[in-house]
Amino acid sequence: MSLPTIKLNQGIHVLHLFYRVDRLRWNALGAGESTQALARLEKLCAANANPSHPRVVTFANVSGKADLVFMLQTAELGHIAQLHRDLEAGFAPGALSLVFSYLSVTELSEYMPTEEESRQMLIQQEKLSADSEAFITRMAESNKRRADYEHYRLFPELPDWEVMGFYPMSKRRNAADNWYSLDFDTRKKLMGGHARVGRKFAGRVSQLITGSTGLDGWEWGVTLMAHQVDALKEIVYEMRFDEVTARYGEFGPFYVNLRLAPPALWRHLHL
């Protein structure tokens, strides 16, 4: 029986998987089994190497919370479930143990400025006449930026940089500091300031925020691609001073990982 076809109304599924290698089991593998496992993983990655999806990307965890790390992206739920199982089946039974996993989906931010808000900003703040050539040009630019933002938010193409950081997070729901008791306009204003902090790191950090409310133990998954750990540390530190984080942020475990293709992964982990 084939798996059911389950797609989202918009966006794709994202699955982060963190495994530890059972060294005793691995060292007991027969001759050639490690090479065969590597070949199977390379084949799976090559068959799922699209810019957005389906995509399988491999990493090595730094600090020992895990060994092998995988990030999977697919449009269809059954596909990501099958990739997960195919990935595990490529290794000898008992060779890997799952230490952490996170399922989420790409989504649009409800706080993105609307076309009408952009229109009013040009008229009221920049004093452009709605029938002027400058207004028409600026609106066209604004609409293109919005369309590009929405496309890459739903169908991300993360850069293949050297470092990947991942952590889950939620908004606080305490009596005194309950994010969900705030009205929409207040939340939107706060998130505007939050976004401005993130934009300061353009070119140094590429962010993917995926939604997981009702899908996993937290409300969002945050994936950060960078060239250096400095950038990860700095963006998270600066966010601490933003009110959205300072008053309402709750964070899960942080994982820092090296982007390594399968052959380099094998050499690094002495597999």
219's tokens: 């409300």
| Pairwise CA distance, residues 72 & 106, whole Å | 12
Q: What would the two tokens of residue 184 be?
A: 């929409």
Cα distance between residue 245 and residue 202, in whole Å = 20
Beta-bridge partner residues of 100: 18
Alpha helices in the chain, H assignment, sequence order? 23-27, 33-47, 77-89, 115-124, 133-154, 184-199, 229-240, 243-248, 262-269
Look-up: residue for tokens 């895990």?
Answer: 66
Question: CA angle, corner 80, sides to 209 and 259, nearest 5?
Answer: 60
CA distances from 271 to 22, 32, 41, 92, 211 (A): 11, 11, 13, 13, 34
Reference 207, options 193, 189, 194; nearest CA is: 194
Task: Supply φ then ψ for residue 83, to 5 degrees.
Answer: -60, -40
3-class state of residue 180 by DSSP: helix
Annotated catalytic, 167? yes
The catalytic residue among 19, 167, 248, 255 is 167
User: Which residues carry out catalysis?
Assistant: 167
